[in-house]
């Protein structure tokens, strides 16, 4: 029996141990987080670029709309849209008949000038003599006309001076009338001012009297109230609860006694508060007289109501040995007299309040009177300003009179000088007529030559004007648009657009941090929305140092020449360009999210989490150039190392203080990690390492 139990016990222990190990293993492995292929990255060599990424649009570098310099009918059109043209090629012409006629006329004028020059040396003495005689006659007529003009000027001078003197006399008379008007108006202003002052004084006296009346009325009703309460308290009637003599006047209706007592207490309390208010009131409060009157009315009304209640109680009373009929009559008389005083006080306060309101109307009248004074003073000021203006006008008119005299003196003098010149010309012409048979002198020859030169200039201008009737290509290119037809009458705005379709540029805006990083002829890549799978190249062709500011943001313009590579490109196509600042090839790169950081004191250390044969670890690294979501590794990793693409944690079940699978980065789980803004990576992501 013992041996059987021992074997059975041993079997049970063994089974228990196996089951425990199975449970331990299964529970530990079931809580391990699975590592997938997408969590890992294989380090490889690749390329990385530091770029400035900008948006822009395409623009033709050379495009020009050519138009005529004149308007008219199109008589010649040699091109259409899509044609290739050469520099200096005539593209279209207008009807130029009028210009050709003018050109012919200028040619004739030049020929006539040359003929005139030739005639100087021919025998035309008779013709010149007749011409000179006509010149002498014209000079004599001009002299006579100028002498008549002098007489007319002298007559006009007298008339205008007389008219100006009359204007000055009228202005002086106006000044005298304005001065008299101001004097009379000043007296009116003085009278109005004194009247307004008297009104203000009387209003002040009336108001002070009302203040005194209101104060005296308040003090008097307080004295009357005190006397009334004293008579009630110290007479046969006592409202105090501790009175020695019982009060039996309300035997018919016991509630009347309590109403009378309540009215007595209310009047007594209101009297105390009203007395405190009146004693604190002073003339300084005269602006609050209305408040004093209202409080007086309120207190008088309470007194009247209290007297009515006490009177009603007395009317309900009966006589007794302690409360005789004589006592009742005396109390009724006292109450009636007090009620009359309270009512009179209320009426007096109301009347005073009405007078106070009336005085407010007087105050408005005073304000109106004051405004009237101010208005008249303003009018007086305007009259005085008008008088000053009139005096200044008089001075200007007197100055104008003197100027008029001087101007006409100068005009007459100038005309007399012209007469003397005409006399001299007449004398010279008469002398020239005597010498008409002589050979032409140097002056005649020079004048004839000048006429030939002027005619030649006019002919050249006519030839240049003919160019306005033509459209001529200014550079080699392609016709993109012709906005008129042959035979059409056109305006100056119509024309032919010629452009160079194989040269485009992109204009971009850079901020002040990026503009200093680029240089002329720097390489760029350009992606067009129209060609999503195509990357073109270009170079920076110009940098404009002039800044522009929009919404407080400063930017600078740069232009990039685009290499079209034979593609069809049009104006205003959207592009994305990258200006390449720095480029590295055949370097180790990893995703930026894989880089983590840790701190030891003030030192910062970068590291990555590694994975090798299902074992995780950590390697310190040193980084270099960063572009988008890719970073260069300078040291710490080699090609084909396997790392986690981003921070990765493995959760495991632990027993007896150890873990079946290690947790990568567990010691630095809470440390900060560097994460760059993502863009397209420059190398492929790796998969699981070889097993």
Residue 306 located in a structural domain: yes
Question: Which residue range is the domain that position 491 belongs to?
Answer: 67-94+472-495
**Distance of alpha carbon 163 from alpha carbon 452, whole angstroms:** 55
Query: Do 78 and 116 share a domain, yes or no?
Result: no
Cβ partners under 8 Å of residue 588, min gap 6: 43, 44, 45, 46, 632, 633, 637, 638, 639
Query: Do 305 and 362 share a domain, yes or no?
Result: yes
Tokens of 320: 């007794």
Query: Do 308 and 211 share a domain, yes or no?
Result: yes
Positive or negative, the CA dihedral 290, 296, 302, 304 is negative
Q: Is 420 helix (H, G, I), strand (E, B) or coil?
A: helix
378, 394, 429: which is the final residue of a domain?
Answer: 378
Tokens of 644: 């986690």
453, 468, 483: which is the final residue of a domain?
Answer: 468
Query: What is the 3 state secondary structure string of 373-440?
Result: HHHHHHHHHHHHHHHHHHHHHHHHHHHHHHHHHHHHHHHHHHHHHHHHHHHHHHHHHHHHHHCCCCCC
Residue 402 located in a structural domain: no
Query: CA of 348: how far to CAs of 89, 215, 293, 355, in Å?
Result: 114, 12, 9, 11
Query: Do 198 and 233 share a domain, yes or no?
Result: yes
**Rg of the Cα atoms in the chain:** 60
Instruction: Please give the pLDDT value at position 392.
Output: 92
Instruction: Please give the pLDDT value at position 321.
Output: 52
Instruction: Please give the pLDDT value at position 250.
Output: 47
**Total number of domains constituting the chain:** 5
Query: Do 207 and 348 share a domain, yes or no?
Result: yes
Residue 311 located in a structural domain: yes
Q: Is 178 helix (H, G, I), strand (E, B) or coil?
A: helix
**Distance of alpha carbon 618 from alpha carbon 611, whole angstroms:** 9
Query: Do 287 and 240 share a domain, yes or no?
Result: yes
Query: Do 444 and 484 share a domain, yes or no?
Result: no
Instruction: Please give the pLDDT value at position 39.
Output: 87
**Distance of alpha carbon 290 from alpha carbon 301, whole angstroms:** 16
Residue 435 located in a structural domain: no
Query: Do 354 and 481 share a domain, yes or no?
Result: no
What CATH number did the domain enclosing 626 receive?
A: 2.40.420.20
Cβ partners under 8 Å of residue 428, min gap 6: none
Instruction: Please give the pLDDT value at position 241.
Output: 47
Cβ partners under 8 Å of residue 475, min gap 6: 62, 64, 87, 498, 500
Cβ partners under 8 Å of residue 109, min gap 6: 455, 458, 459
Reference 461, options 99, 32, 42; nearest CA is: 99
- Note whether 102 and 465 are within 8 A (CB): yes
Reference 125, options 451, 450, 435, 428; nearest CA is: 435
> Tokens 């007389």 identify what position?
162
Contacts 24+ apart (CB under 8 A), 103-111: 103/459, 103/462, 103/463, 103/466, 106/455, 106/458, 106/459, 106/461, 106/462, 107/459, 109/455, 109/458, 109/459, 110/452, 110/455, 110/456, 110/458, 110/459
What CATH number did the domain enclosing 84 receive?
A: 2.40.50.100
Query: Do 344 and 214 share a domain, yes or no?
Result: yes
Residue 634 located in a structural domain: yes
Reference 495, options 476, 480, 507; nearest CA is: 480
Number of residues that this document lists for the chain: 691
**Distance of alpha carbon 221 from alpha carbon 92, whole angstroms:** 116
What CATH number did the domain enclosing 346 receive?
A: 1.20.140
Residue 405 located in a structural domain: no
**Distance of alpha carbon 78 from alpha carbon 91, whole angstroms:** 5
Query: Do 615 and 635 share a domain, yes or no?
Result: yes
- Note whether 633 and 650 are within 8 A (CB): no
**Distance of alpha carbon 572 from alpha carbon 506, whole angstroms:** 9
Cross-strand partners of 578: 53, 525
Burial tier of 284 (Cβ tally within 10 Å: 0-12, 13-18, 19+): exposed
Q: Is 350 helix (H, G, I), strand (E, B) or coil?
A: helix
Name the DSSP class of 676: P
Instruction: Please give the pLDDT value at position 440.
Output: 64
Residue 159 located in a structural domain: no
Cβ partners under 8 Å of residue 187, min gap 6: none
Grouped pLDDT means (10 residues each) for the chain, 691 residues: 52 59 47 71 89 88 82 88 88 84 83 78 60 77 83 87 90 88 83 73 74 84 85 61 43 65 84 85 68 87 87 72 70 86 88 77 65 82 87 89 87 85 79 62 77 85 80 86 88 83 87 90 91 90 90 91 83 91 90 89 88 89 87 92 80 39 36 34 38 34
Tokens of 317: 């009373």
Residue 390 located in a structural domain: no
Query: Do 42 and 89 share a domain, yes or no?
Result: no
Query: Do 203 and 315 share a domain, yes or no?
Result: yes
**Distance of alpha carbon 575 from alpha carbon 531, whole angstroms:** 10
Cβ partners under 8 Å of residue 396, min gap 6: none
């Amino acid at each position: 029996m013992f041996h059987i139990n021992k074997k059975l016990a041993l079997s049970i222990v063994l089974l228990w141990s196996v089951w425990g190990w199975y449970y331990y293993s299964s529970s530990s492995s079931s809580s391990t987080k699975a590592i997938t292929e997408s969590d890992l990255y294989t380090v490889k060599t690749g390329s990385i670029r530091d770029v400035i990424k900008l948006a822009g649009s395409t623009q033709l570098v050379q495009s020009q709309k050519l138009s005529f310099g004149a308007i008219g009918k199109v008589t010649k059109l040699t091109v259409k849209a899509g044609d290739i043209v050469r520099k200096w090629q005539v593209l279209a012409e207008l009807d130029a008949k009028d210009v050709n006629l003018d050109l012919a006329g200028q040619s004739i004028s030049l020929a006539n000038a040359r003929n005139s020059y030739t005639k100087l040396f021919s025998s035309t003495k008779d013709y010149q003599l007749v011409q000179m005689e006509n010149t002498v006659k014209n000079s004599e007529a001009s002299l006579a006309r100028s002498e008549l003009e002098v007489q007319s000027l002298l007559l006009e001078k007298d008339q205008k001076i007389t008219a100006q003197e009359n204007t000055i006399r009228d202005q002086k008379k106006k000044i005298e009338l304005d001065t008299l008007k101001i004097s009379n108006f000043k007296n009116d202003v003085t009278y109005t001012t004194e009247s307004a002052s008297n009104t203000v004084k009387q209003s002040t006296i009336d108001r002070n009297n009302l203040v005194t009346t209101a104060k005296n009325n308040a003090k008097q009703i307080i004295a009357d109230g005190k006397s009334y309460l004293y008579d009630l308290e110290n007479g046969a009637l006592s409202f105090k609860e501790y009175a020695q003599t019982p009060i039996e006047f309300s035997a018919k209706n016991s509630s009347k006694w309590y109403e009378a007592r309540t009215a007595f207490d209310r009047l007594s309390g209101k009297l105390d508060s009203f007395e405190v208010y009146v004693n604190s009131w002073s003339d300084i409060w005269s602006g609050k007289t209305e408040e004093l009157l209202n409080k007086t009315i309120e207190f008088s009304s309470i007194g009247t109501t209290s007297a009515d209640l006490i009177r009603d109680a007395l009317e309900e009373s009966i006589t007794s040995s302690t409360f005789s009929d004589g006592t009742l009559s005396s109390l009724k008389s006292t109450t009636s007299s007090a009620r009359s005083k309270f009512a009179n006080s209320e009426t007096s306060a109301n009347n005073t309040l009405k007078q106070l309101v009336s005085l407010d109307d007087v105050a408005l009248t005073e304000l109106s009177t004051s405004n009237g004074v101010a208005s008249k003073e303003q009018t007086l000021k305007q009259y005085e300003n008008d008088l000053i203006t009139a005096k200044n006008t008089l001075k200007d008119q007197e100055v104008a009179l003197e100027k008029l005299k001087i101007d006409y003196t100068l005009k007459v003098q100038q005309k007399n000088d012209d007469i003397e010149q005409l006399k001299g010309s007449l004398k010279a012409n008469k002398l020239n007529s005597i010498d008409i048979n002589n050979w032409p002198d140097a002056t005649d020859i020079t004048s004839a030559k000048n006429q030939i030169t002027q005619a030649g200039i006019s002919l050249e201008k006519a030839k240049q004007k003919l160019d306005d009737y033509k459209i001529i290509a200014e550079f080699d290119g392609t016709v993109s648009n012709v906005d008129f037809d042959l035979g059409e009458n056109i305006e100056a705005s119509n024309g032919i657009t010629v452009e160079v379709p194989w040269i485009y540029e992109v204009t971009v805006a850079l901020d002040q941090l990026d503009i200093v990083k680029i240089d002329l002829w720097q390489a760029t890549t350009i992606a067009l929305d129209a060609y999503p799978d195509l990357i073109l190249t270009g170079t920076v062709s110009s940098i404009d140092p002039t800044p522009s500011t929009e919404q407080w943001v400063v930017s600078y313009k740069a232009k990039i020449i685009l290499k079209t590579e034979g593609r069809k490109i049009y104006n205003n196509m959207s592009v994305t360009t990258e200006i390449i600042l720095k480029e590295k090839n055949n370097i180790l790169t990893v995703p930026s999210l894989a880089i983590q950081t840790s701190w030891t004191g003030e030192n910062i250390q970068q590291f990555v989490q590694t994975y090798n044969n299902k074992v995780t670890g950590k390697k310190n690294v040193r980084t270099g150039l960063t572009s988008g979501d890719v970073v260069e590794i300078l040291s710490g990793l080699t090609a084909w190392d396997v790392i986690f693409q981003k921070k990765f944690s493995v959760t495991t079940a632990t027993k007896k203080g150890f873990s079946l699978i290690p947790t990568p980065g567990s010691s630095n789980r809470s440390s900060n990690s560097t994460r760059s803004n993502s863009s397209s990576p420059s190398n492929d992501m790796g998969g699981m390492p070889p097993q």
